[in-house]
Amino acid sequence: MVETVNSRYIYIYFFSIIALLPISIILGSAISLINVLIISFSFLMLCFFLESYQFLKRKEFLLLIALYFYLIFNSFISLDFYSGFERNFGFLRFILLFLFINYFFFKFEKSEKLFRAWLIIILFISIDVFIETIFGRNLAGFGYEFYENRIVSFFYDEPVAGSFIYGFSLIIIGYLFNKYSGDNKSKVAILLLPILFLIAVLVTGERSNTIKFFIGFIIFFLLPHFFNKKTKFFSVLFFVILISIVFSQSQYLKLRYITQLTNSFMTEQNREEFFKKNIYWNLYKSGLNVFKNYPFFGVGNKNYRIETCVPKKDPKTYYLCITHPHQLYIEFLSEHGLFGTIILLSILFFLMFRILGIIIKSKNYIQAGCFLYILTNFIPLLPSGSFFSDFNSTIFWINFSLMYACNKQTNIFYKEDLKLKST
């Protein structure tokens, strides 16, 4: 970090700890946590050696710190302080991750190797998903021990392979759009690779992530200026034909995406049965009941399980004992109440939409991909994982950080008063 240190070695080190983020997520929450903590510590050491803290004045940093202080406050008003203590206090690492990624793109302009590395990782996981779909086991021998017919890939006992692929796919698509926008020969590859990723998410059986990815991909695909209308039409036609073939070859996919949903609303009796037995409907109902009982401040981050898994004071209140309500807005309302939900959404949406005009004007497709990923995470009603879990938070904040970092107009270090570039 000082002038006597060869910048090439600094780049190799910085590049390595960022490039390994997807692999650390695959290896588990503990490894992912260690990787993010290494990144956080590296940034703090960077600031110490450079003796430069001008970024502390930036609005983005101040708002994220405000979000952090709210989460600290949330711990003290929680039903159980210790349940959400680590999650709330540990949120600081994502602020440091945001700063570090912004600095990396500021200091090292030639950062496309990072996206190439991630492309190889996501492509490998997608191929592994197809192998497990065809043979029942992935390359590591994992299969259906925990979730019948659900694809787990290298995640072993968690059906999150689709969520993982989706979390990095729009970044990769954006990188390809940026790099090959003027190369007609590469347009076929640009079209085929995203479709490959989307089908990989589809066959995992993760319906919510498939819907989110489909919406994000369609918006992404229709916006770029370098695809003419004819190319777009035949690409959509090809995609529809390919999806039809995939569905025709899989009874499981037809059952999960079509039969289960259509049969649930065929008759009034089916509809009543659906609302009575559907797990997500009951989760939402339970979460809203928690919010009803704690409307202003909620039960506290990671305290949903504390409230729903203890004997109820009012036996008429319907609770479903589980870790979280599996829907982002209901999770916010039940664990943070109206007060916390307004703070969380106000800060996140402000930071997202304040740079939307720059994203559109600059036609930076990596930024667009990150923005669409974040936006589709906030689609109402669709089921979701816990927003503050290590897996979901890490992928979310990687996208959020890149959304700012990869454009000079939004990168928080591209200011005249920040002279870090010369160090």
Task: Please list, residue by residue across 53-79, b when 16 or more beta carbons sit within 10 angstroms of its beta carbon and e when fewer do.
Answer: eebeebebbebbeebbebbeebbebbb
Within a domain: residue 209?
yes
Identify whether 84 is part of a domain.
Answer: yes
Whether residue 150 is contained in a domain is answered as yes
pTM as predicted? 0.91
Measure Cα distances from 24 to 11, 319, 391 in Å.
19, 35, 10
Asked if residue 286 is part of any domain, the answer here is: no
Compute CA distances 332 → 65, 139, 382, 394, whole Å. Answer: 19, 38, 14, 18
Task: Determine, yes or no, domain membership for 230.
Answer: yes
Query: In this structure, which amino acid lies at residue 141?
Result: G
pLDDT in tens, the chain (423 residues): 334 346 778 888 999 999 999 999 999 999 999 999 999 999 999 888 877 788 888 999 999 999 999 999 999 999 999 999 999 999 999 999 999 999 999 988 777 889 999 999 999 999 999 999 888 888 888 876 666 677 889 998 788 999 999 999 999 999 988 887 666 667 677 778 888 999 999 999 888 999 999 899 888 877 766 667 777 777 778 777 888 887 777 776 666 666 666 665 566 666 666 667 778 888 999 999 999 999 999 999 999 999 998 876 666 678 888 889 999 999 999 999 999 999 999 999 999 999 999 999 998 999 999 999 999 999 998 999 999 999 999 999 999 999 999 999 999 998 644 444 444
Q: Is residue 367 part of a domain?
A: yes
Question: Structural domain tally of the chain?
Answer: 1
Residue 69 resides in a domain? yes
In a domain, 206, yes or no: yes
> How high is the pLDDT of residue 3?
41
| Look-up of token digits 């060869």 | 6
Range of the domain at 66: 7-263+355-422
